[in-house]
Amino acid sequence: MWEFWHALLRRVTQLTAGLRRTWRRSLQVRVVTITLVTSSLLVGGFAYLIADKITGILLENAETDVLLRLTSGREYSEKQLRIFRQPQEAKLQETLDGTVNYLAGGGDPAQTGGVVVAITVDGHQGVLSPRTSPSVPDVNPLISPELRAAVADGQVAHQIRTGRLTGGRTTYLAYGSPVPTQFGQVELYYFVPLNRQAETAGDARATVVATGVALVLLLGLLAALVTRLVVSPVRAAARTAQRLSAGLLDQRMTVNGEDDLALLAASFNQMATNLQRQILRLEEMSRIQRRFTSDVSHELRTPLTTVRMAADLIFAERDEFDPAVARSAELLQAELDRFEELLTDLLEISRFDAGFAMLDAEPTDLVPVVHRVADRLGSLAERVGVPLELDVPGVPVIAEVDPRRVERVLRNLVGNAVEHGEGRPVRITLGVDETAVAVTVRDHGVGLKPGEEKLVFNRFWRADPSRARQTGGTGLGLSISLEDARLHGGWLEAWGAPGQGAQFRLTLPARAGDRLTTSPLRLVPADANLPFTGPRAGELLAIGPGTGGALAVGPAADGPLAIGPAPGDGDRAEVGR
């Protein structure tokens, strides 16, 4: 039994969810539903007023007819009973009987329209008997005490009563009037059945209801047709826009007629044409720019090699030169090193832009990679007074990655941390779980201002352009690192707060091609003094690449809330802790 109710509840929940989804997604359904509901209320109100008015008119006509009969019957009864002075007089009872028979039409009420006439003589009970139409034994159940009291006081009164007189239960319009005589007052009652009026009112109500239902359905059909005329071009525009966004730039809407919808379609087509022209122009400019960058980078290789050979020769003989010339030789050597590094980065960026970058993944132990990066940057860290701290597992951490690219990412992250460390320790942490590996690089420098987490991966972007560089970087390191992480299907995320330093987290799938869902390390460090009251710009923002080029925000397994497009899926947002 419980399973039945559980299945029924699940079915109702699914149906409700489907109806809500249809209501949200379909403009036509909303317009038709609102039209049906509104028209039903209006038509229902008018139908009620019309039916009530018809019923009132029928009852008023019945009351007028009965009142005319009552007035005529009272005058006739008064004439017939005027000659009697005592209730014991002979022939008085016969006169009462004859008067009732005359007023009732002289026959059975079933043969005279169901009208029942009665004369009561309550003041002379025991002497005179009340008289009613033939075949009607008693009318007292239909005479209420209020009606009897009003008639006894000399008033003409009426009521609508339901009872049984000549057959089944029937609704009667009961009218009563006093009839003065020489021996006292008698009471004349007319009971007119309302069957015909009820049938007429029922027919009128049925006609009004049927007309109202037909009118509501016609209004709903009209609303559906009109809405379809408006919605169809909008849906066509939406489908065309989706195709345009998918890269099918030659898609256009069909223009029919010269009305507003045709103007909308023509304007949409013109917009699509302009967009296509601009996109093609931008693509051509981008292609030319990429080709120019690639060609210039390659062409600079030959003169750079020549200059490098000459500079190496001068640098090797610098001890024999004047001190100023020797210093110039050292500066020339340093700038050539930086220029060669910049040229290498430009070539790498051009390969990423052209889509020629390839991942050479192989099972790799990341522990030696982390140690190797720390050793290579140890001298730089020692020179600027920044201690390097390592927190790596004592067992191998194996993942299917490209070791060259991972090492380059870590060199960029650690180098930036050392440059911005302000003489405070930089901590490198390596973590692993069943599906992913992660490396965090934490510094305690000036940190990042709100919103800079969105800019830190941009090419040639610097948090403080006026600040002197210690490492002489090219400004492309984090951009290349972002592309390397995306090529692995991983995340490269940043966190920072003013005065609390920054932390970068690289998360890679343990098996090449897997999709990441979480990271084994927190994005926001545990020592960050941030009261959590909800996501705030610049404090709880994690930005990194997902597969397909989408920005990814990945929550740490036990870290604070991170909001943004889900990794590998640029169409939906992911919220996690």
Q: Is residue 556 classed exposed, middle or buried when 0-12, 13-18 and 19+ CB atoms within 10 A define those classes?
A: buried
CATH of the domain at 136: 3.30.450
- Whether residues 145 and 274 fall in one domain: no
Instruction: Give residue 275's domain range.
Output: 261-353
Q: Evaluate whether residue 13 is within a structural domain.
A: no
Q: How far apart are CA 149 and CA 556, in angstroms?
A: 89
Q: Count of residues for the chain?
A: 577
* Nearest CA-CA partner of 190 in 64, 332, 328: 64
Residues 516, 423 share a domain: yes
- The pLDDT value given to residue 550: 35
**Is residue 36 included in any domain, yes or no?**
no
Q: Is residue 415 part of a domain?
A: yes
412/511 same-domain check: yes
Q: Which of 295, 325, 353 is the last residue of a domain?
A: 353
Cα separation, 332 vs 160, in Å, equals: 118
83/182 Cα distance (integer angstroms): 8
Q: 34 is written with which tokens?
A: 């609102």
Dihedral sign of CA atoms 514, 516, 519, 524 in order: positive
Q: Would you say 187 and 151 are in contact if contact means Cβ atoms under 8 Å apart? A: yes
- The torsion region of residue 447 among left (phi > 0), alpha (psi -120 to 50) and beta comes to left
Distance CA 192, CA 175 (A): 8
Residues 349, 387: one domain?
A: no
**Does residue 40 belong to any structural domain of this protein?**
no
Pick from 133, 163, 193: which residue ends a domain?
193
Give the whole-angstrom CA distance, residue 442 versus residue 414: 9
CA 59/CA 51 separation, integer angstroms: 12
| Whether 166 and 121 share a structural domain | yes
Strand 426-432 versus strand 388-391 pairing type: parallel
- The domain total for the chain is 3
Element (H, E) at 399: strand 398-401
- Residue 369 and residue 392: Cα distance in Å, rounded? 11
Asked if residue 286 and residue 369 are part of one domain, the reply reads no
Q: What is the pLDDT along the chain (577 residues), one digit of tens a residue?
A: 677 787 888 888 888 888 888 888 777 788 888 888 888 888 888 888 888 888 889 888 888 888 888 888 888 888 888 777 776 666 777 888 888 888 877 655 555 556 777 787 766 665 666 777 776 767 777 788 888 888 888 888 888 888 777 667 788 888 888 888 877 788 888 888 888 888 888 888 888 889 888 988 898 888 888 888 878 888 888 888 888 888 787 888 888 877 777 888 888 888 888 888 888 888 788 777 667 766 776 677 778 788 888 888 888 888 888 888 888 888 888 888 777 777 776 767 666 666 667 788 899 999 999 999 999 888 888 888 889 999 999 899 999 998 888 998 998 899 888 888 888 899 999 999 989 999 999 998 888 888 787 788 877 776 655 554 444 455 777 888 888 888 888 999 999 888 888 999 999 999 888 888 889 998 888 887 754 344 333 333 333 433 333 333 333 333 333 333 333 333 333 333 3
pLDDT of residue 21: 84
Residues contacting 458, CB < 8 A, separation 6+? 479
Q: What is the end-to-end Cα distance of the chain in Å, rounded?
A: 40
Cα dihedral 340, 344, 346, 350 sign = positive
DSSP readout, 463-529? S-TTSPPSS---S-HHHHHHHHHHHTT-EEEEEEETTTEEEEEEEEESSTTPPP--BSS-SS-TT--
Co-location of 429 and 531 in the same domain: yes
Measured at the CA of 503, the angle between CA 502 and CA 507, to 5 degrees, comes to 160
Confidence at residue 370, expressed as pLDDT on a 0 to 100 scale: 93
- Inter-residue contact 417 to 443 (CB < 8 Å): yes
Let me know whether 524 and 449 are in one domain: yes
Query: For residue 383, how many other CB atoms are within 10 A of its CB?
Result: 10
Residue 178 φ then ψ, to 5° = -75, 145
**Dihedrals φ, ψ of 389, to 5°?**
-115, 135
Q: Establish if 63 belongs to a structural domain.
A: no
Q: Could you tell me if 508 and 547 lie in one domain?
A: yes
Domain annotation covers residue 59: no
What pLDDT is attached to residue 352? 67
The one-letter amino acid code at 463 reads A
Asked whether residue 165 falls in the same domain as residue 283, the answer is no
* Any domain includes 53: no
User: Can you give the CATH number for the domain in which 458 is found?
Assistant: 3.30.565.10
What CA–CA distance (Å, rounded) separates 449 from 538? 6
Do 515 and 380 share a structural domain?
yes
Report the CATH number at residue 311. Answer: 1.10.287.130
Between helices 195-245 and 260-316, what is the axis angle to 10°?
30
Q: Tell me whether residue 529 is in a domain.
A: yes
Q: Provide the angle, in degrees to the nearest 10, between the axes of the packed helices 366-376 and 403-419.
A: 40
Q: Identify any residues that bridge with 117 across adjacent strands, giving them in sequence order.
A: 190
d(CA 357, CA 273) in angstroms, rounded, equals: 33
Last residue of a domain, one of 353, 369, 392: 353
pLDDT of 294 reads 67
If asked whether residues 327 and 283 sit together in one domain, one would say: yes
